[in-house]
Amino acid sequence: MLDEAQTETLLEVSNIEVIYNHVILVLKGVSLKVPKGGITALLGGNGAGKTTTLKAISNLLHSERGAVTKGSIIYRGERVQELSPEALVRRGVIQVMEGRHCFEHLTIEENLMTGAYTRSAGKAAVAADLEMVYTYFPRLRERRKSQAGYTSGGEQQMCAIGRALMSKPETILLDEPSMGLAPQLVEEIFGIVKDLNEREGVSFLLAEQNTNVALRFAHHGYILESGRVVMEGPAAELRENPDVKEFYLGVSDAGRKSFRDVRSYRRRKRWLA
C-alpha cells in the first residue's frame, strides 16, 4: 500500500471548470491530486466528466472545441494548461484515449513506434523499450506484423497502452481500459497496469466506470457526478463506504431500496459537494 503522506504530488488539478463550444458547462470545479507512484481512480457514470477531466489535463480538449475556463492544472510545480499535448508528452504525461484509438492501417509494431515519436534517445534505447513492452504484452509480439485495425479489442487496448509506454511516461492518463472487454481480459489488463505501476514506477490516473475492478487495483479514488467530485478517499475506504456500495457496487446492507431513499442519497450528497 502506498503511503500517501510521504509521497510527492505529481499532478494537482484545482477547481477546474470546462466549457465546450463556449456554452456547455461540463466540469463545475473538479480538484484532484495524483501522487508519484500511485494508481488514482476517477470513477463515475456516463457523462460524469471523467473523460473531460483527463482531456483537460492532457490538453486534448482544444481539438474538440473545449476549454478550461477556471482553475489550474499543475504538473511538477509547473502550470501546464497552455502547453500543447506534444509538450506535455515530452514532460512525461501521456493519455491513452477511451476506445483505444489505434492507428488502424499501421501494424502493431508501427503503432508502438509512433509512441516513441517525441523521444530523442537513440535507436538502442527505443528498441530496448519495445522489448520491454513485448515482455509485458507477449500477445502484441505475436501480432506485431498485423494491421492494428484487424486485431481484437483486447489486443488494441494493449497496443494503446504499449504505445503510451514507448514515450517513457511518468504518468499515464488511462481512459476506460475495460470498455467493451470480457471480464477475464479486464482482469489481465488491470494486472499489467498494476505491474507497470509497481515495477516501472509509472503513475496512473485511471478513469473507469467499472468501480469494482478499479477500486481493487487503485490506491486512491475520486467519484465524479455531473461534473463535480462528490466523494474521495483511499480505495479501501471507498470500497467499504455504504453509499459507494449501494450506488456503484450494487450491494447494500438493507436489500433493494425504494426510489425515495435514492432521493435522500442525493440530498446527502449535496453536503459533500
Partner 1 sequence: MSADFLYMIEVVINGLMAGVLYALVALGFVLIYKASGIFNYAQGVMALFGALTLVGIMEGQVPFAHIINATFGTDLHQFGWTVPALLAILLTVGVMILLAWMVHTFVFRHLVGQEPIILFMATIGLAYFLEGIGDLMWGSDIKTLDVGIPQGGSLWVENLSSGLGGEDFYGFFIDKLDITASVVAILLVAGLIAFAQYTKQGRAMRAVADDHQAALSVGISLNFIWVLVWSLAGMVALVAGIMWGAKSGVQFSLSLIALKALPVLMLGGFTSIPGAIVGGLIIGVGEKLFEYTIGPMIGGATENWFAYVLALLFLVFRPQGLFGERIIERV
Question: Which residues here bind partner 1, judged by CB under 8 A?
Answer: 58, 60, 63, 65, 84-86, 88-90, 94-97, 101-106, 110-111, 113-115, 117-118, 147, 149-150, 153, 163-164, 167
Determine contact, residues 48/226, Cβ cutoff 8 Å. Answer: yes
Minimal distance, residue 112 CB to partner 1, in Å: 10
Q: Are strands 9-20 and 66-75 parallel, antiparallel or unpaired?
A: antiparallel
- Nearer residue to partner 1 within complex by CB, 174 or 223: 174
* Residues near 142 by beta carbon (within 8 Å), at least 6 away in sequence: none
Measuring CA to CA, which residue among 192, 210, 215 is closest to residue 202? 192
Q: Are strands 228-234 and 220-225 parallel, antiparallel or unpaired?
A: antiparallel
- Nearer residue to partner 1 within complex by CB, 52 or 167: 167
- Nearer residue to partner 1 within complex by CB, 11 or 102: 102
Q: How far is CA 234 from the centre of its chain?
A: 17
Gap between the terminal Cα atoms of the chain: 28
Minimal distance, residue 118 CB to partner 1, in Å: 4
> Which H/E stretch holds residue 68?
strand 66-75
- Nearer residue to partner 1 within complex by CB, 65 or 266: 65
Give me 139's grid cell.
500477445
Place of cell 425504494: 258
Minimal distance, residue 123 CB to partner 1, in Å: 10
- Nearer residue to partner 1 within complex by CB, 35 or 66: 66
Minimal distance, residue 132 CB to partner 1, in Å: 17
Report the alpha-carbon distance of residue 273 to residue 269 in Å, rounded.
6
Minimal distance, residue 21 CB to partner 1, in Å: 11
- Nearer residue to partner 1 within complex by CB, 73 or 231: 73
Give me 198's grid cell.
509497481
Minimal distance, residue 208 CB to partner 1, in Å: 18
